[in-house]
Chains A and B, each alone.
Chain A
Amino acid sequence: MSDNGKPKFAMYWASSCGGCEIAVLNISEKILDVDAAFDVAFWPVAMDAKYKDVEAMPDKSITLTLFNGGIRNEENAYLAKLLRQKSVFLVAFGSCSSEGCIPGLANFSSGKDLFDTVYDTISTDNPEGIRPQYNWTTPEGLDIHIPVFSPTVRTLDQIVDVDYIMPGCPPESHQIAAVVELVIKALNGEAELPPKGSVIGAGGSTVCDDCPRERNIKKITKFVRIHQVENIDPDLCLLEQGILCNGPATRNGCGALCPQVNAACIGCYGPAADVADYGARMITALASVIDSRDPEEIESILDGIPDPGGSFYRFNLAHSLLHAAKSAWVGD
């Protein structure tokens, strides 16, 4: 790569869906600023590059690396370590790399269950029960190795040191644009970067604070699924209507988009500031508003939340205090 004096930029996807890359492209004409300010050193989704090219770069030669995706296998972990070594600023970009996100829900299941779901279901045509082998030698004598699958999905900061965290599934494009602008200004000496470890591109409060719906004293006597409500009051807090909304535990920054279109917050922006365990915060929030003192009645109200683990940890399981179900570790 020719040296044009520009700082280098990298973006990598580990265990993710690709939505984060689309969110970056969605910053529209600001992407030209990125191109003007940075030399793209490594971005597999946008341009061809080989891992050996990155391996050959001097340490700390990439100024900014946006790392999206969780750490699902050996290859993801290797790239996390490699990019940490080569980057000045490593950003855990998006929900997967900062908290595990939807792929992290696999931590509720054992590796065996996951493989059974993929290779051995009633609709799978696999009569010989073939499973992937990590190491195999072809008849021609070629040794093939595929990355070893880890017992659980881990977040980037569980593998390497992370400089900044940018939450969201995916991060909102206007937030990405603001962060890009700030980094460019900081490189020109016109602004200062926030302290290491900061959450960037998000607010410091909760989704409820950004939500325009009317809020009263909550007294919940029944939880309902959103399709069970005939007429959703468009102006009243969803939680007050018995719809499980994760707004009280979730960091703001998205602009409360979901509640504004009658969809409950599912928590993609991760835990609010100073929340150690997202699910615990949801349990605390709901316990305060369930209107019953009778254990049996409380149980029947809680029947309205059929999957508490999935509802309270939808995006945060890999970064929760318990991290995974026991079966994920012991293997059955």
Chain B
Amino acid sequence: MTEQFEPIIIGFTCNWCSYRAADLAGTARLKYPPNIRLIRMMCSGRMDPTFILKALSEGADGILLTGCHPGECHYLEQNYKALRRYLMLRRTLPQFGIEAKRVKLVWASAAEGVRLAREITTFVEEIRALGPLNWKDSRAYNNGYGVAEVEVSTEVPA
């Protein structure tokens, strides 16, 4: 039997909604795949695209961003900033050969444990279908390429 590809997914969650939704899913003993690693932030607006690019370049296969529903942000409208960053990132990533589908934005309130668990399950399957990103391996290959070890003579001319 061939081993099934298990994607690594980083989930950025908001302290006020989706992190609590994940908590609720746990309390209710709902099952969702263990492929996702949740990171709590104070707000989806804290999500700097740098975090996403760093995660993708260091081994993540997919990124799930979660935040409060539009109009319900604890900090008034930071989730709209997250939305705009996400939309801009989705246009930029394909130029790097990264499928836009590898990054997904989901709104989930603190009461939506069931919904979040379902979204995570769907997303894991979507990424599984896309296959591994392997950014780290590509990079390691590149680093060893075309750079032969230098043998420098240190002989001092007479």
Interface contact A287-B84, CB-CB below 8 Å? yes
Known contacts A290-B84, A293-B80, A322 near B154 by CB under 8 Å:
no
Docked pose: A329 CA to B144 CA in angstroms: 12
Q: Give 1 or 0 for each of A208-249: 1 = CB within 8 Å of chain B CB.
A: 000000000000000000000000000000000000000000
Docked pose: A281 CA to B92 CA in angstroms: 13
Q: Give 1 or 0 for each of B45-85: 1 = CB within 8 Å of chain A CB.
A: 00011101110110000000000001000000100110111
Interface contact B146-A58, CB-CB below 8 Å? no
Q: Which residues of B contact A77 (CB under 8 A)?
A: 146-148
Interface size class of A (residues with CB under 8 A): 35 or more
Interface contact B153-A55, CB-CB below 8 Å? yes
How many chain B residues touch A (CB < 8 A): the figure is 41
Interface contact B87-A302, CB-CB below 8 Å? yes
Contact of A322 among B57, B77, B81, B155 (CB under 8 A): B57
Q: Is the interface of B mostly helix, strand, loop or mixed?
A: helix
Contact of B50 among A57, A59, A321, A328 (CB under 8 A): A321
Q: Within 8 Å of chain B (Cβ to Cβ): is A326?
A: yes
Q: Is the interface of A mostly helix, strand, loop or mixed?
A: helix
Q: Give 1 or 0 for each of B16-57: 1 = CB within 8 Å of chain A CB.
A: 000000000000000000000000000000001110111011
Known contacts A283-B92, A287-B81, A308-B91, A85 near B146 by CB under 8 Å:
no
Contact of B95 among A276, A292, A309 (CB under 8 A): A309
Interface contact A283-B150, CB-CB below 8 Å? no
Interface residues of B in 134-158 (CB under 8 A from A): 135, 138-139, 141-143, 145-148, 150, 152-157
Docked pose: A160 CA to B106 CA in angstroms: 42
B148 to chain A, nearest CB (A): 7
Interface contact A321-B57, CB-CB below 8 Å? yes
B119 to chain A, nearest CB (A): 17
Q: Give 1 or 0 for each of A251-289: 1 = CB within 8 Å of chain B CB.
A: 000000000000000000000000011011101101110
Interface contact B97-A327, CB-CB below 8 Å? yes
Interface contact A322-B56, CB-CB below 8 Å? yes
Contact of B142 among A55, A58, A152, A288 (CB under 8 A): A152
Contact of B146 among A149, A283, A320, A321 (CB under 8 A): A149
Q: Interface on B for A, CB 8 Å cutoff?
A: 48-50, 52-54, 56-57, 70, 77, 80-81, 83-85, 87-89, 91-92, 95-98, 135, 138-139, 141-143, 145-148, 150, 152-157
